[in-house]
Amino acid sequence: MVPPTFIAYMITRASFRSLLLMSLFFLVAVPAGAQNADEIFARLKAKYDSITSLRAEFSQTMSSSYMDEEATSNGVLVIQGDRYRVETEGQTLVTDGEVTWVYMPSQKQVLINDHSEDEQSFSISDFLFNYDERFTVAEVKSSGSGADRHFVLSLKPKAKDTFFTEATLSMRERDNIITRLQVVDVNGTKMIFKLTNIEINPALGRGVFSFTPPQGTEVIDLRS
């Protein structure tokens, strides 16, 4: 029979271990100071100012009180300035900065239109590279440890009537790269993007930012 004192000792030891783990968690999760927030913001901006192109795999989750269930998708994105290519199983979106192609393979249809920036549409390229034009840093926290340590930047919009009311960026400390992005719009729709296998300034082949429809595709040209 195990002595009661030994059982009490193990319980106390387990409680101490739990308390220690909780303490470590709170040490990791406490907000960074205002000065550190400015420094981290500067590091992030300097990093993305130095990037000319980016390729990554991504997963996207969208949820809203108006939706019956979360909508998820996975794909690959390539960004270079105002040009980008986003490929998922159900859609390919390509723009060269002047013309936009939206290809839907299930419908064998491609829409072609003049490229335009719409404040109410979400552009991951715009959030990665131009977030500082519409947002300021409200708070910075840290999470994780070692190679997985991140700074989590909570952003607030500069304008009161902005369509996106909340944004959060997770910046990997070791290389100042954003690996997660979360935004919420005025309708309460939440979108979360997670980036993996990120390549900085990869060599890009010709035609990455243009689209040639496969044979048999219906072409709908909406350009005026």
The reply to whether 67 and 130 lie within a common domain is yes
Contacts of residue 219, defined as CB under 8 A and 6 or more positions apart, other chains included, come to 109, 110, 112, 213
Statement to judge: residues 2 and 42 lie in one domain: no
Residue 55 lies in a domain: yes
How many domains is the chain built from? 2
CA 91 to chain centre: 19
| Residue 219 within a domain | no
CATH of the domain at 151: 2.50.20.10
Q: Nearest 5°: CA angle at 159, between 118 and 132?
A: 75
210 in a structural domain: no
Inside any domain, residue 151: yes
The predicted structure's pLDDT at residue 119: 54
Let me know whether 6 and 83 are in one domain. no
Q: Residues 41, 145: one domain? A: yes
What pLDDT, on the 0 to 100 scale, is given for residue 66? Answer: 84
Domain shared by 137 and 198, yes or no: yes
Looking at the structure, tell me whether residues 126 and 52 fall in a common domain: yes
Do 38 and 79 have their domain in common?
A: yes
79 and 10 inside one domain: no
Tell me the pLDDT of the chain (224 aa) as tens digits.
Answer: 444 443 333 333 444 344 333 333 333 333 444 448 888 888 998 999 999 999 999 999 999 888 888 899 999 999 998 899 999 989 999 999 899 999 999 999 999 999 876 554 567 777 788 878 888 888 999 898 888 899 999 999 998 888 889 999 999 999 999 999 999 999 999 999 999 999 999 999 889 999 999 999 999 999 97
Residues 26 and 40 in one domain: no
DSSP reduced 3-state for 122 = coil
Output the pLDDT for position 21. Answer: 37
Q: Specify whether 1 is located in the same domain as 75.
A: no
Residue 221 lies in a domain: no
Whether residues 62 and 16 fall in one domain: no
Structural domain includes residue 223: no
Q: What is the pTM of this model?
A: 0.77
Q: Are residues 68 and 142 in the same domain?
A: yes
Does 220 map to a domain?
A: no
Residues of the domain holding 70: 34-88+122-203
Residue 60 near residue 181, CB atoms below 8 Å: no
Residue 166 lies in a domain: yes
pLDDT at 118: 59
3-state SS track over 207-218: CCCCCCCCCCCE
How high is the pLDDT of residue 183?
92
**CA distances, 207 to each of 17, 47, 135, 185, 204 (Å):** 57, 27, 33, 33, 9
pLDDT for 79 equals 93
